[in-house]
Amino acid sequence: MRILLGAVATVGLLTGCGGVYYAAEVNGAAARLEYARVVGAESLAPYEYYYAKEHLEQAQIEASQASYSDAANYAETAEEYANKAVELAQAAHRASGR
């Protein structure tokens, strides 16, 4: 009985941690994607911007199904591509003299 209770408690903790990790990842990705939008990445780096946006949306779908590990992975990819979109948009601004 103790082993069963320990296993249930461990699963509960892991699930909770997954949700916390996902929340941290998705918040970072969402903030970076918003910044990408602000600097004009929708038009200056559309592939990277929309790739990030779709991955962020998929992360939210996965999280709604309690697939926190998958959700975190999608959120990480979203943040990575949002960063690329920001870099490309900023480079375009520098090149145009804005």
Residue ranges of domains in the chain: 19-96
CA 57 – CA 94 distance, rounded (Å) = 30
> What's the pLDDT tens digit per position in 9-45?
334 444 456 678 888 899 999 999 999 999 999 999 9
Spell out the alpha helix ranges (H) of the chain.
Answer: 2-38, 41-44, 46-64, 68-96
Amino acid, single-letter form, for residue 21: Y
Q: What is the pLDDT of residue 41?
A: 98
